[in-house]
Amino acid sequence: MAQRPFFLLALLVLVVFGTVAFLATRHPGNVEAAWFDNNWRFRERIALTNTSGSDQTNWQTKITFDTATPITAGKMLSSCNDIRFTSIVGKTLPYWIEPGTCNSSSTIIWVKVDSIPNGGGQIYIYYGNPSAASANYKTSDVFIRDLTGDSAVWPLQDSTSTQSYASVNNPAVNIGSRNVVLNSTPTSSTSWTLNANWAFANNLFTHTTGATNTVTQALAAATSGKAYSITYTVSGMTAGTITVSMGASGTARSANGTYTESIVSTSTTLTFTPTSTFDGSISNFSVTQVNIPPSGGTATQLLTDGNMEAAGTSAWTGSGLSKGTTTPHSGSQYLHISTNSALGASQTILTVGQVYRVYGYARSGDGVGQPIVLGINNFGTTSTTWQPFDLTFVATSTTITFAHTNSGASTVSVDFDDVTVALDTNIRSDSILSTLDGNMEQSGTSYWTAGNSATLSKDSGSPHTGTQDLKVARNGVNNPYASQTGVMISGRTYHVTGFLKSDGNATPTVSAGTTTEFTGTTSTSYQSVDITFVAPSTNDLRLGATTSTGTQFAQFDDFVVQEVDPLVGQTGNNGANVTIGAASGGHLANAYSFNGTNNYVNIYSSDLNSAFNPSEGTVVAWAKVSGSGVWTDGTSRYALQLQADANNLIYMRRTTTNNQLQFVYESGGTVNQVLDTSLGGSTGWFQVVITWSKSNNQMKAYINGAQVGSTQTGLGTWVGNLNTGATRTVIGASDNVVNNPWSGLINDVHVYSRA
CB-based burial of residue 255 (10 Å sphere; 0-12 exposed, 13-18 middle, 19+ buried)?
exposed
Q: Which residue has the higher pLDDT, 488 or 269?
A: 269
- The mean per-residue pLDDT over the stretch 619-643 comes to 91
Q: What domains can be seen in the chain, in order of their start residue?
A: 4-127 (no CATH), 193-289 (2.60.120.260), 317-423 (2.60.120.260), 449-564 (2.60.120.260), 600-752 (2.60.120.200)
DSSP-derived secondary structure letter, 92: B
pLDDT at 159 over 60: no
pLDDT reported for residue 492: 67
pLDDT of residue 642: 93
**pLDDT per residue as tens digits for the range 456-476:** 999 999 999 889 999 999 999
pLDDT at 26: 31
Work out the percent of the chain whose per-residue pLDDT is above 70: 75
pLDDT for residue 1 is more than 60: no
The pLDDT of residue 304 is 92
Q: Is the pLDDT of residue 167 over 50?
A: no
pLDDT (mean) for 267-296 = 80
Mean pLDDT lowest among 203-217, 286-300, 303-317, 612-626:
286-300
Alpha-carbon distance of 23 to 28, in angstroms, equals 9
**pLDDT at residue 582, rounded to an integer:** 27
Q: What is the pLDDT of residues 398-446, one digit of tens each?
A: 899 998 877 666 788 999 999 988 876 544 545 676 667 888 988 889 8
Residue 681 contacts residue 721 (beta carbons within 8 Å): no
Give the end-to-end CA distance of the chain in Å, rounded to a whole number: 48
In this structure, how many other beta carbons lie within 10 angstroms of the beta carbon of residue 690? 24
pLDDT, residue 264, reads: 64
Whether 17 shows a pLDDT value over 80: the answer reads no
pLDDT at 174 over 50: no
Q: Whole-angstrom Cα distance, residue 162 to residue 359?
A: 39
Model pLDDT, residue 358: 84
Give 502-538 pLDDT, tens digit per residue.
Answer: 999 999 999 988 989 999 999 999 998 888 777 776 6
- What letter would DSSP give residue 443? S
- pLDDT above 90 (res 347): yes
State the average pLDDT over residues 731-736.
86
Peptide bond connecting 186 to the previous residue in cis, omega within 30 degrees of 0: yes
From residue 580, give the alpha-carbon distance in Å to each of 10, 113, 119, 136.
32, 11, 10, 21
What pLDDT was estimated at residue 376? 54
Report how far residue 437's alpha carbon sits from residue 460's, in angstroms, rounded to the nearest whole number: 15
Task: Look at residue 380 in the predicted model and tell me its pLDDT.
Answer: 63
Say what the pLDDT of residue 29 is. 34
Q: Mean of the pLDDT values across residues 578-601?
A: 52
Higher pLDDT, 258 or 569: 258
4 or 333: which leads in pLDDT: 333
Backbone dihedral region for residue 496 (phi beyond 0: left; psi -120 to 50: alpha; all else: beta): beta
Look at residue 681 in the predicted model and tell me its pLDDT. Answer: 83
- What's the whole-number mean pLDDT along residues 479-496? 80
Q: Which of 9-23, 142-156, 365-379, 515-529 has the lowest mean pLDDT?
A: 9-23
Instruction: Look at residue 600 in the predicted model and tell me its pLDDT.
Output: 76
Interatomic CA distance for residues 511 and 501, integer angstroms: 15
Angle at 218 between CA 615 and CA 301, to 5 degrees: 100
- Residue 646 to residue 664: CA distance in whole angstroms: 12
* Range in 33-47, 216-230, 274-288 with the lowest mean pLDDT: 216-230
Q: What are phi and psi of 4, to 5 degrees?
A: -60, -50
- Concatenate the DSSP letters of all residues of 325-358 into one string: -SS-SSSS-EEEEEESSS--EEEE---TT-EEEE
User: What would the 3-class secondary structure string for 17-62 be?
Assistant: HHHHHHHHHCCCCCCCCCCCCCCCCEEEEEEEECCCCCCEEEEEEE
pLDDT at 2: 27
Residue 559 has pLDDT above 80, yes or no: yes
Higher pLDDT, 456 or 380: 456
Question: Dihedral through CA 501, CA 83, CA 570, CA 122, nearest 10?
Answer: -120
Most confident of 29-33, 156-160, 270-274, 727-731: 270-274
Mean pLDDT of the chain: 78
Mean of pLDDT values over 115-133 = 85
675-705: per-residue pLDDT in tens?
999 998 888 778 888 989 898 899 999 887 7
Per the model's pLDDT, the better-predicted residue between 137 and 290 turns out to be: 290
Distance CA 336, CA 384 (A): 12
Q: pTM of the predicted model, to two decimals?
A: 0.40
Q: Which residue has the higher pLDDT, 608 or 213?
A: 213
C-alpha 671: how far from chain center: 33
Element at 473 (helix H, strand E) = strand 469-473
Q: What is the strand order of the sheet 248-249 is part of?
A: 193-194, 215-218, 269-274, 242-246, 248-249
Nearest to 200 by CA among 186, 181, 219: 186
pLDDT digits (tens, 9 = 90+) for 217-241: 988 667 665 667 789 999 999 999 9
pLDDT at 146: 38
Residue 23 vs residue 147, higher pLDDT: 147
